């Protein structure tokens, strides 16, 4: 009895075909893994940028709450927040500098238990010291400047936060290096 069957070419996959298919699938999976790694790195960068924007808005809210100082700040007033320096917060205005010194020396400064101690400049100094500590915990290497100027009888303050972030991109990864990029965020406030 003779078997009638399929020709030998149509019986199934050869080992070479299976290996080629396996290589194609592996390359595709590696590409997907690399894309996912880049997306995770980008979401970390986005998180930091969002937190910087929130911190700048937090300082703007403190400025709005203390209109007695910020709306009449001397023209120009510059405040520098740099965690690497000592003191971390410095100001060009003498009243604000003394408020900053009082806040650094007294952890309870301008809290509800010592309200009689607080002048508007002391409150602004306290807010800046607290904000500087929050920025230091968020981005230890970030520097911030607040420049206030009187323009047409209206005070405008520009909050600038600068930091260096590690950018993950396909080109840098292919070259085996990391790409550090300087970033800055600016917020203009009219207290």
Does residue 9 form part of some domain? no
Does residue 5 form part of some domain? no
Does residue 91 form part of some domain? yes
Q: Are 131 and 59 in contact (CB under 8 A)?
A: yes
Place of tokens 């894309």: 35
Does residue 7 form part of some domain? no
Q: How far apart are CA 67 and CA 22, in angstroms?
A: 68
Does residue 8 form part of some domain? no
Range of the domain at 49: 15-189
C-alpha separations of 72 from 6, 44, 64, 156, 160 in Å? 94, 39, 12, 10, 20
Q: pLDDT tens digits for 50-69?
A: 999 999 999 999 999 998 88
Residue 136: exposed, middle, or buried by beta-carbon count in 10 A (0-12, 13-18, 19+)? middle
Q: How high does pLDDT run on average in the chain?
A: 82
Q: How confident is the model at residue 10 (pLDDT cuts 50, 70, 90)?
A: low
Q: Is the pLDDT of residue 8 over 60?
A: no
Does residue 1 form part of some domain? no
Which of these ranges, 26-30, 36-40, 41-45, 49-53, has the smallest mean pLDDT? 41-45
The number of domains in the chain is 1
Does residue 178 form part of some domain? yes
Does residue 6 form part of some domain? no
């Amino acid at each position: 009895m003779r078997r009638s069957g399929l020709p030998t070419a149509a019986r199934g996959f050869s080992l070479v075909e299976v290996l080629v298919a396996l290589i194609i699938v592996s390359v595709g999976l590696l590409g997907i893994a690399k894309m996912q790694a880049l997306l995770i790195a980008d979401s970390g960068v986005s998180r930091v940028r969002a937190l910087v924007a929130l911190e700048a808005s937090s300082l703007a809210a403190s400025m709005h709450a203390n209109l007695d100082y910020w709306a009449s700040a001397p023209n120009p007033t510059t405040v520098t927040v740099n965690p690497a320096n000592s003191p971390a917060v410095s100001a060009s205005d003498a009243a604000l500098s003394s408020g900053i010194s009082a806040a650094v020396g007294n952890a309870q400064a301008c809290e509800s238990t010592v309200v009689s101690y607080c002048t508007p400049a002391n409150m602004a100094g306290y807010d800046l010291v607290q904000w500087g500590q929050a920025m230091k915990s968020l981005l230890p290497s970030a520097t911030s400047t607040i420049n206030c100027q009187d323009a047409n009888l209206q005070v405008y303050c520009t909050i600038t936060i600068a930091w260096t972030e590690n950018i993950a991109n396909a080109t840098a990864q292919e070259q085996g290096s990391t790409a550090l990029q300087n970033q800055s965020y600016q917020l203009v406030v009219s207290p």
